[in-house]
Amino acid sequence: MYNRFLAYAVHLFTILGVYVSFLAIEAAVEKNISLVFLYLAIALFIDGIDGSLARWADVKNVCTQN
């Protein structure tokens, strides 16, 4: 049960990166360049570590079990 929770938490973390990317787009529309770069840096950080977290949590095997 804990492994499944951990695997889905990694999925939620990845979705957080997508959300932060949309915030960057919104900041760009508002022409707030410093906020754009802040959001993009956060999204880059999330994207950089979510794969490692997924391998650590063994998401591939845990989420495909019935």
Instruction: Please say if the pLDDT value at position 65 is more than 70.
Output: no
Which residue did the predictor score with more confidence, 32 or 66? 32
pLDDT in tens, 6-42: 888 898 999 999 999 999 999 999 999 999 999 999 9
Q: Judge contact between 17 and 47, C-beta under 8 A.
A: yes
Q: How far apart are CA 29 and CA 20, in angstroms?
A: 14
| pTM of this structure | 0.80
Q: How far apart are CA 15 and CA 24, in angstroms?
A: 14
Domain ranges of the chain: 2-62
